[in-house]
Amino acid sequence: MRRPILALMASLLAALAPQPAAAQPVLNVYNWTDYIDPHVVQRFQQETGIRIRYDVYDSLETLEGKLSAGRSGYDVIVPTSEPTFARLVRAGALRPLDRARIPNWRNLDPALLARVAAIDPGNAHGAIYLWGTVGLGLRLDRVRAIAPELDTGSLDLLLKPENAAKLAGCGLAVMDSATDVLPSVLRWLGRSPDSADAADLRAAEAALLAIRPHLRAIPGSGALLDMLATGEVCVALAYSGDVIQAAARAREAGRGVELAYVPPRAGPHLFFDMLAVPADAPNPEAAHAFIDFLLRPEVIAAVSSHVRYPNAVPASRPLIVPAVRDDPSVHPAPAALAEAFVPGTPPAAAERLRNRLWSRFRAGR
């Protein structure tokens, strides 16, 4: 009888012994710098028990480089609709989203989804996170003090060499992104923002090289935001939300730096940043849960309130803090967006030409 009794006692002791805790699930997120409310990340972790490992980048080129190597290890990425998201869709690098796991998809604006559907039929691979435009970040007081005759509603302010020369002393910058700068330069030249023509690209290169001696910096998005907030530059070609964030930081610092975002009157570059799941994501279940969480009106309202970019969930609008909700530079009137353009994705040969062009521009030769 001893053996059965001993076996029974061993089983009871094993049952009563502390069991090793199951490994905590981890969600790996790769997003733009300064592009989420940290409290939203904390809330998701508290609600779900899923720990978030959060990395950031400040250019689409950095994101594409990471994804092109394969096995990035990320579960959720935030590529811009054109060209990065479009290229990833065509390459089969993204997992189709399971709408059954994203019930809050119904909150998305169908009209905005339609603008992305041309590159992602049926909106199969991405949900719109935030959107914005590319335009001018300005210290209007400094610009008007130096050259009151200049038109602050036109890219002439920065891209005409004679104007850049006048304003160089107060600091000029162009963000370090061929993807997001060249379409605006081509449009300013009267060429197609999607042009793959070598002559058009040479014209864009000539325009950029003509102002290169007057630029203080060609920084990444995060660095440019800081330079604007501290008043180091007075004119910059930048993302709308970055300028608006910088303006808020400058006001909080109380150093007398007054910034404004001015979209080009002729029509700004409009972009959509997408929530997407890489095809080899290690934890797609957590990725779907996070996307669904972000599409709750109160959650995405907190994101927009913090980062000052508009989102694609109309029901969130009343929940956004008034200073952001009622700011026309954050939420442009429909008429102001009528002239906006969404650039396409250049073919591979044109992309190589653009990258070489950009390298020469950065080097100043």
pLDDT for 8 beyond 80: no
Scan for tokens 């952001």, then name that residue. 324
Scan for tokens 């989804």, then name that residue. 113
State how far Cα 27 lies from the chain centre: 20
Scan for tokens 């026309």, then name that residue. 328
pLDDT digits (tens, 9 = 90+) for 105-128: 999 999 999 989 989 999 999 999
Task: Provide mean pLDDT across the span 189-194.
Answer: 95
Identity of residue 67: L
What mean pLDDT, rounded, does the chain reach?
Answer: 90
Task: Provide mean pLDDT across the span 146-175.
Answer: 96
pTM for this prediction: 0.84
Residue among 353, 342, 348, 362 at smallest CA distance from 203: 353
Give 23 or 101, the one with higher predicted confidence: 101
pLDDT digits (tens, 9 = 90+) for 244-283: 999 999 999 888 889 999 999 888 999 999 999 999 999 9
Task: Provide mean pLDDT across the span 163-181.
Answer: 95
pLDDT for 176 beyond 70: yes
Scan for tokens 């699930």, then name that residue. 25
> Can you give the pLDDT at residue 67?
83
Q: Which fold has domain 26-132+271-332?
A: D-Maltodextrin-Binding Protein; domain 2 (3.40.190)
**For the ranges 20-24, 57-61, 360-364, which has the lowest average pLDDT?**
20-24
208: tokens are 């950029």
> Can you give the pLDDT at residue 22?
53
State how far Cα 176 lies from the chain centre: 14
Residues 177-201, buried b or exposed e (16+ Cβ, 10 A)?
bbbbbbbbbbbbbebebbbbeeebb
> Can you give the pLDDT at residue 28?
97
162 — pLDDT class (breaks 50, 70, 90): very high
Scan for tokens 């990320």, then name that residue. 74
pLDDT digits (tens, 9 = 90+) for 203-241: 999 999 999 999 999 998 889 999 999 999 999 999 998
Residues forming a β-bridge with 94: 278
CATH 3.40.190.10 range(s) for the chain read 26-132+271-332, 133-269+344-363
Spell out the alpha helix ranges (H) of the chain: 2-16, 38-48, 60-68, 86-90, 110-117, 140-146, 156-159, 161-167, 178-188, 198-211, 221-229, 240-253, 284-294, 297-307, 322-325, 334-337, 348-363
Spell out the alpha helix ranges (H) of 124-160: 140-146, 156-159
Percent above pLDDT 70 for the chain: 93
pLDDT digits (tens, 9 = 90+) for 306-359: 999 999 999 999 999 999 999 988 998 887 788 889 888 888 889 899 999 999
Give 222 or 164, the one with higher predicted confidence: 164
pLDDT digits (tens, 9 = 90+) for 14-36: 444 444 445 789 999 999 988 99
CATH class of 133-269+344-363: alpha beta
- Backbone angle region of 80, left / alpha / beta, with phi > 0 → left and psi within -120 to 50 → alpha: beta
